[in-house]
């Protein structure tokens, strides 16, 4: 989808109308064909996470395509909201869970996994010799 399509303009107009908290949460995207164009509906999850609420476009942006610089501004706005969310997530370090200690040593456990439980059946048919 190119920048000059109604679908991209519709999606970016909706993102422009979203708050940073809406961008950080789960969204639902629906495509709606209308004539030769395809419009995008975006719904953001509610605070109690039980339902999705459709994002309302501001009245001044209804029915118009965004210009090229406006589109780049919306993409930058979305990118900055996402990167700030990732920075907040990176600040809280997650401690890895320790595996419970096993009674047998790790080398014994590796040997047990490496050995097959059943021996492979060998074919009883003799190998055919081929001559060139």
pLDDT digits (tens, 9 = 90+) for 103-115: 556 677 667 666 6
Residue 102, helix vs strand vs coil: coil
Question: What pLDDT, on the 0 to 100 scale, is given for residue 62?
Answer: 79
Q: What pLDDT, in 10s, does the model give residues 73-106? A: 888 888 887 777 767 666 666 566 665 655 556 6
Q: Three-state SS across 32-77? A: EEECCEEEEEEEEECCCCCCEEECCCCHHHCCCCCCHHHHHHHHHH
């Amino acid at each position: 989808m190119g920048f000059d399509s109604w679908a991209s303009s519709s999606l970016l107009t909706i993102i422009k109308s979203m708050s940073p908290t809406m961008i950080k949460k789960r969204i639902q995207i629906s495509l709606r064909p209308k004539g030769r164009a395809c419009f995008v509906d975006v719904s953001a999850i509610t605070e109690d996470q039980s339902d999705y609420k459709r994002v309302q476009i501001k009245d001044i942006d209804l029915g118009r395509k965004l210009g090229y610089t406006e589109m780049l501004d919306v993409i930058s706005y979305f990118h900055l909201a996402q990167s700030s969310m990732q920075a907040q997530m990176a600040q809280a370090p997650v401690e890895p869970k320790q595996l419970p200690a096993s009674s047998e040593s790790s080398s014994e456990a590796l040997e047990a996994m490496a050995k097959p439980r059943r021996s492979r059946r060998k074919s009883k048919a003799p190998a055919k010799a081929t001559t060139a």
